[in-house]
Amino acid sequence: MSKADDSMRTPKAVVACLRDNGDGTSKLIFDEVDGDSINNPIEWSFACFYTWRDYDNRSLDEMKLSDREYQMIGENLIAGLLALNGRIDEPE
């Protein structure tokens, strides 16, 4: 594994945001985006919604989600990236 960032990216990616719902929960949202370049992209544009899930704010703030919840977040992220980059078929 390289120790330095070589600035190369794929043209398609997944971004994440965490939106406070105002009711003691937050929504973790993954969206698919398109970059303007494969070399150090500056602008990313929304392509489509990918997935979301609500979590309890206290559990998030204390980084105390269950092992299964952390596993699901990672699986969703990797599955989305693999599908976006043509490495697996997208689920139906």
Q: Where are the domains of the chain?
A: 12-84
Return the pLDDT at 5. 87
Return the pLDDT at 88. 84
Terminal CA-to-CA distance of the chain, rounded, Å? 34
Q: Please give the residue that has the higher pLDDT: either 1 or 17.
A: 17
- pLDDT tens, residue by residue, 25-80: 999 999 999 999 999 899 999 999 999 999 999 999 999 999 999 999 999 999 99
* One-letter amino acid for residue 46 of the chain: F
In order, the DSSP letters of 2-65 are: -SS---B--SEEEEEEEEE-SSSEEEEEEEEEEES-SBS---EEEEEEEEEEEEEHHHHHTT--
Q: Please give the residue that has the higher pLDDT: either 89 or 27.
A: 27
